A and B are shown apart, each in its own frame.
Chain A
Amino acid sequence: LAKTTQPISMDSYEGQEVNITCSHNNIATNDYITWYQQFPSQGPRFIIQGYKTKVTNEVASLFIPADRKSSTLSLPRVSLSDTAVYYCLVGPARGYQKVTFGTGTKLQVIP
């Protein structure tokens, strides 16, 4: 499974757009990029997944450059309730579905 590197922590003011970048230099051809969010005292929650270019849903956008060696999770206009740990994961698209978590990025939204 490809190793990922992301910032340990970030602070942001409410209302700002937050971008969290994850490096995955050894990503394999059949790997997908998935982001999970974890609030304190809760289990991780899937938020978005992509393979290339851009993916957008009601929660976030995911930007993946052509070489796929990194990806950026974009959270528009964050609120205090977005304070959480965000995990970037990469893994194959078929078969075994073990999820490997890294250290994650602790996002603190400030009023």
Chain B
Amino acid sequence: EAGVTQFPSHSVIEKGQTVTLRCDPISGHDNLYWYRRVMGKEIKFLLHFVKESKQDESGMPNNRFLAERTGGTYSTLKVQPAELEDSGVYFCASSQEGGLSYNEQFFGPGTRLTVL
């Protein structure tokens, strides 16, 4: 079974540009989450989808960030315009509703975003 995949693995952009990160969850997982770790900080929650609906977006830092999950499959996270402080690693995770272990979220390898 394929795990959570993320694209790209690394993106380098200039301040003011737009970047779109993509996450493909494990097939059949209704829950999809975005997290990020900025330099030297802890991994922080951004938002949570249940299928195509945003369950909780309390962790989104500001309106420069837009997450979508059309059709309830893959998700995109767009940063527009990117700022220097957006640099970090963005993780996506998915989980299955009603799984055997609570909070067994399956994480992707992350996308490293560098804003110059």
Query: Is the pair B107, A97 in contact by a Cβ cutoff of 8 Å?
Result: no
Cβ–Cβ < 8 Å partners of A32 in chain B: 102-103
* Chain A residues touching B, majority SS: loop
Most buried by B among A91, A93, A98, A104: A98
B28 to chain A minimum Cβ distance, whole angstroms, is: 16
Q: Tell me which of A44, A49, A96 contacts B107 (CB under 8 A).
A: A44
Cβ–Cβ < 8 Å partners of A89 in chain B: 103
B75 in contact (CB, < 8 A): no
How many chain B residues touch A (CB < 8 A): the figure is: 25
B82 in contact (CB, < 8 A): no
How many chain A residues touch B (CB < 8 A): the figure is: 22
Query: Given the complex of chains A and B, what is the CA–CA distance between A13 and B55 in angstroms?
Result: 44
Query: Is the pair A99, B31 in contact by a Cβ cutoff of 8 Å?
Result: no
